[in-house]
Amino acid sequence: MADQVSAPVLEVTGLRKEFGSFVAVDDVSFSVRQAGSLAIAGESGSGKTTIARMIVGLERPTSGAITACGHDRSRPARAARDRRRRGREVQIVFQDPYTSLDPRQSAEGSISEVLRRRHRDWPAARRRERTAELIALVGLDARQAQTVPRELSGGQRQRVAIARSLAAEPRVLILDESVAALDVSIQAQVLNLLSDIREQTGVSYVLISHDLAVVRQLADEIIVLRRGLVVERGPTARILDDPQDGYTRRLRASVPRPGWKPRRSSSTGNGSPGPS
């Protein structure tokens, strides 16, 4: 037990992914401890989603190692038992709550299905009880729990996706732009919810995000990715307050905030002639 607390729950070493001649992820290493929260920040094409997909087994790394809870997962699971164990170790919440839920299944149904696999020995009453707990944890009411995704808003659907992933009692939850599509007022609710869940359950987060303000709110540590390479890493507060790498600085300076003005970067800025 003492061993589990000190050892990272997720460790990625020298991870590389090539698509043909294109290198999407290049020698990326990081680790996440129990109840820790690490952000992988970067823009489109930086490789951050490819890393998430490799961790959950949707892509196979070209080279490098991924270890969750002491088990290697850089190769496809061979047996159903392995697959189930991996599901208990790492879960993912995708960006788009409109396409990541079964349109015919109610929130209750989809959570209950995961519980049936996770705890095969549970009687139906126990499953119902746990489903209700999870529904309450993510702040949905009984009526919403029984409706199909079509009748829920984006924020409500994302809560269902979070509840379903938590039903598997994962040690690590990967949040792949999970709040990016939400309205500001709903995003704040879901971010608060995610903070509470980490505190209550000790789950670890890997937050994949392009939004540095969201990263600041939710992640203790950050790695900044550009074209598959880690350009800067460290505690979130230090990296965002005092970025050293030129790209991190540019990323930081591009975020709109009170008093901010957009500026043309020197690479494309040119004294454009007036209109004809």
CB of 227 to other proteins, least distance (A): 13
- The 3-state DSSP class for residue 213 equals helix
Other beta carbons within 10 angstroms of residue 233's beta carbon come to 17
Q: Is residue 214 involved in binding other proteins (CB under 8 A)?
A: yes
Q: Is residue 276 involved in binding other proteins (CB under 8 A)?
A: yes
Residues 6+ apart with CB under 8 A from 174: 52, 55, 56, 90, 91, 92, 93, 205, 206, 208
The binder of other proteins chosen from 5, 241, 242, 246 (CB under 8 A): 241
CB 149 within 8 A of CB 96: no
CA distances from 205 to 99, 121, 184, 201 (A): 22, 29, 21, 11
Nearer to other proteins, 129 or 242 (CB): 242
Interactions with other proteins, residue window 20-59 (CB under 8 A): 43-44
CB of 113 to other proteins, least distance (A): 26
The binder of other proteins chosen from 99, 100, 195, 243 (CB under 8 A): 195
Q: Is residue 140 involved in binding other proteins (CB under 8 A)?
A: no
CB 179 within 8 A of CB 214: yes
Contact footprint for other proteins (CB under 8 A): 43-44, 153-156, 183-189, 191-192, 195, 210-214, 216-217, 236-237, 240-241, 250-258, 260-265, 268-270, 272-276
